[in-house]
């Protein structure tokens, strides 16, 4: 095996390690979002995760609620198509992932950033607030009750 083969072997082995590191960083980022949101007082992690009064204020006083309401059908369809399973937990996870990767139109993004700056919260907190709000809309539409622990295991669709 020449130098070229050795380099290929090193790169191949390193790529698997980088994938593991990327996965760990994504997990860490999601955990930090939860910690930031809880420390900002926007949501609580009691089961199920829910908005606090401050989180509700962030949702309603910013453009987030209006933006979600005007796009809810499109967002709901995207989330349902993303979910392999359709339990309450899956819908929540898909909703959070959807909002983590959502590219807001620049006008909405700028308004959210200005509002976030004025409130002293991070944009990822807004994304989680939006994810919780849309999750609630979707669970209601799918007749899954947040408070009913039996329904969290119920398959839908």
Span 14-36, pLDDT tens digits: 555 555 555 555 554 554 454 54
Mean pLDDT computed over 105-133: 92
- Higher-pLDDT residue of 100 and 20 is 100
- Higher-pLDDT residue of 54 and 40 is 54
Which pLDDT score is estimated for 151?
40
Mean pLDDT computed over 50-68: 93
Per-domain boundaries in the chain: 3-153
Mean pLDDT computed over 72-88: 87
Residue 83 has pLDDT above 60, yes or no: yes
Q: State the distance between the two ends of the chain, measured CA to CA, in whole angstroms.
A: 54
- Higher-pLDDT residue of 62 and 157 is 62
pLDDT in tens, 134-149: 999 999 988 886 654 3
Which pLDDT score is estimated for 148?
45
Residue 156 has pLDDT above 60, yes or no: no
Mean of the per-residue pLDDT values of the chain: 77
| HEC profile of the chain | CCHHHHHHHHHHHHHHHHHHHHHHHHHHHHHHHHHHHHHHCCEECCCCCEECHHHHHHHHHCCHHHHHHHHHHHHHHHHHHHCCCCCHHHHHHHHHHHHHHCCCCHHHHHHHHHHHHHHCCCHHHHHHHHHHHHHHHHHHHCCCCCCCCCHHHCCCC
């Amino acid at each position: 095996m020449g130098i070229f083969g050795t380099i290929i072997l090193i790169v191949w082995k390193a790529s698997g390690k980088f994938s593991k590191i990327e996965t760990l960083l994504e997990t860490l980022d999601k955990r930090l979002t939860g910690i930031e949101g809880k420390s900002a007082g926007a949501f609580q992690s009691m089961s199920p995760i829910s908005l606090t009064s401050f989180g509700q204020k962030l949702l309603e006083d910013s453009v987030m609620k209006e933006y979600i309401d005007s796009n809810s059908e499109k967002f709901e369809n995207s989330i349902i198509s993303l979910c392999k399973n359709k339990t309450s937990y899956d819908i929540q996870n898909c909703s959070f992932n959807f909002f983590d990767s959502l590219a807001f139109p620049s006008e909405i993004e700028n308004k959210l950033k200005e509002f976030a700056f004025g409130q002293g919260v991070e944009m990822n907190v807004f994304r989680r607030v939006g994810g919780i709000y849309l999750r609630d809309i979707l669970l209601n539409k799918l007749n899954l009750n947040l408070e009913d622990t039996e329904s969290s295991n119920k398959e839908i669709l």
